[in-house]
Structure 1
């Protein structure tokens, strides 16, 4: 079977599955990635994310992850919000939760779609071929691979953005032994725009196209264990899980496509901080079943809620913080004391 014809039909099938775009690159298409990753790690910009360093050889060289692979099929799926994610920041009694985490866990939804598409590809290719699918949980640098596959470019905020999709996209990868025709890489089109850098509350970008995760609110609320630096807490506002500021401000979003997956529709929204603060472990797990929020656990989540309460400026929330000053988790108890001091 001619691989050019197979690629064309694969693209059609990908769109039928709900993907917004597809591109293909070679596993060795990002030779500069390894050096960039080494610099990132050497500067300590990964913070507590030791898993990035532990498998950096694979992460920096996709060809080493699976030497038999001949093609990397990169797929983008839109999760564009229907409302302005920045609007919630002016409601200090409510919790700001990143758009991607307001619906069902994208890992499950995207991986299910990738597996269906991969099975279709194997059925067409015949015996002897193989695939591996990845969605943000393996040592795969999806964003550089997506740029190499022509889906978009890594903007100054380091996220992938596209002239056709904006930057509200999830990425998935299918590695395959099939040698499919490759797409041309995309070049960056940010120009002189610095909107994403300027809006960052914590100044997490030491330079364009570079991120210091230790100052990023997404990292601080999701990956960082233990107390957050007191100097950074006031800058977090009411953001309790992730941060969308640099994504939401990007002018390329005027070309963003609507989300086609109903599972990405918000089912959490902007909950009341006082109600969230009362969650014990059982209630937390029940409230966020099927959500990526569940993976950070109740204690880290309540820590974030208390920082938001401390930033609210609302004396009515003092009893809420007071009730948690004796929490069994020392980080939660310290966050409650901090919130009380801020509301005094």
Structure 2
């Protein structure tokens, strides 16, 4: 099979398996990636995500990851929502979960299908390796080099066909395939994504400081949420879509076709009070097959407690009070902050002094002290 025919077979298989786009680039097509990554690491913008620094030399040079590879096949699957995700952010007593996490885990959906696409390469006598966040592969720069879209000022991929909503997968292969032209940056003077960020996580266009990003804070960050970001988090309990949703190119976005990636009704805008009541078993059941399950119940309950503190009313206060007695110190600390915002000053001071005196964890005692100090101010 010649290279053109093999490319056609890859495209046929990809379309049949639900992928919305396929393009090809070379392993050496992103020469600036290494220096951009090095700058981000030097500035500490990777926060506690040490895996970004691990094997950074391979992450910045795909041609070094597998020297025998001659082509990189980039595939994209659209997961466009059926409504603007910012609507959920406006609902105070409901939680906002990032669109990508409202259905099944995309890693599980895409990886098996990548292998099926790659079967055409094996049948043609070529070797292939598939990647979906499973190796030091920088999918977004490679997707830009292949022409699937461009990395916008929010650092995410933007497509003229699908807007902000694309999952990416990569197939490295020893086959020599015709490469596509890279996509042009179409951001122009627009800064809608930068202005939409609730925590000002972009120190400059095309640069993201994960330490300030709600997605990092609610998913990757393991300890208490820094106090300076809690109010700005609003009701975002897993990830944040604000910079993605703000992009004007979403006027061309389409609702995703893959049913396994479609939002489950139970995860579109779940009630915070219900989420606060979840024990570990109930958490695992509700988020079975969802990416949310990977952060564990305690980190999720921490996020819910913060969201409750940004809500109003007796229902929010009651749910936060329940979390103040949680087995996890991290959750109890977040609940202390929430209650300082939900209770009257007198009632909170009485509760805080009582709970602080009984608290064994130094970190939680500090949270009560900080909350009392804020109340006094």
- TM-score, normalised relative to structure 2: 0.89
Q: Distance in 2 between matches of 1:274 and 1:297?
A: 18
Q: Distance in 2 between matches of 1:9 and 1:324?
A: 55
Q: Would the aligned equivalents of 2:132 and 2:169 in 1 still touch at CA under 8 Å?
A: yes
Residue 244 of structure 2 aligns to a residue in which SS? helix
Q: Distance in 2 between matches of 1:171 and 1:338?
A: 38
Give the corresponding residue for 2:236.
Answer: 239
How many angstroms does 1:315 deviate by? Answer: 3.1
Tell me the matched-pair count. 341
How many angstroms does 1:182 deviate by? Answer: 0.8
Give the corresponding residue for 1:137.
Answer: 134
Give the corresponding residue for 1:182.
Answer: 179
Q: Within 5 Å, give how 1:22-171 maps onto structure 2.
A: 22-123=22-123, 125-126=124-125, 129-171=126-168
143-152 vs 51-60, which moves further: 51-60
1:299-328 CA distance string (max 9 Å, x none)? 000000000000012232212111222322
How many angstroms does 1:189 deviate by? Answer: 0.4
Q: Distance in 2 between matches of 1:138 and 1:309?
A: 37
Give the corresponding residue for 1:212.
Answer: 209
Q: Which has the larger radius of gyration?
A: 2
Residue 31 of structure 2 aligns to a residue in which SS? coil
Q: Distance in 1 between matches of 2:92 and 2:140?
A: 33
Of 207, 215, 221 in structure 1, the residue corresponding to residue 218 of structure 2 is: 221
User: Over aligned residue pairs, what C-alpha RMSD do you find?
Assistant: 1.0
Q: Could you tell me which runs of 5 or more consecutive residues in structure 2 were left unpaired when the two chains were aligned.
A: 344-377
1:244-294 CA distance string (max 9 Å, x none)? 011111111111233121111111211100010111111111111101000
Higher relative contact order (CA 8 A, sep 6+): 1
The structure with the greater share of residues assigned to helix is 2
Give the corresponding residue for 2:320.
Answer: 321
Q: Would the aligned equivalents of 2:9 and 2:120 in 1 still touch at CA under 8 Å?
A: no
Q: Distance in 2 between matches of 1:244 and 1:237?
A: 13
Give the corresponding residue for 2:374.
Answer: none
Q: Distance in 2 between matches of 1:119 and 1:7?
A: 12
1:139-198 CA distance string (max 9 Å, x none)? 110000000111110001110011122110000000111111111111100011111011
Of 189, 192, 196 in structure 1, the residue corresponding to residue 193 of structure 2 is: 196
1:302 is the counterpart of 2:301: yes
Q: Distance in 2 between matches of 1:335 and 1:137?
A: 32
Q: Distance in 2 between matches of 1:53 and 1:314?
A: 44
263-272 vs 231-240, which moves further: 263-272
How many angstroms does 1:222 deviate by? Answer: 0.2
Q: Could you tell me which runs of 5 or more consecutive residues in structure 1 were left unpaired when the two chains were aligned.
A: none
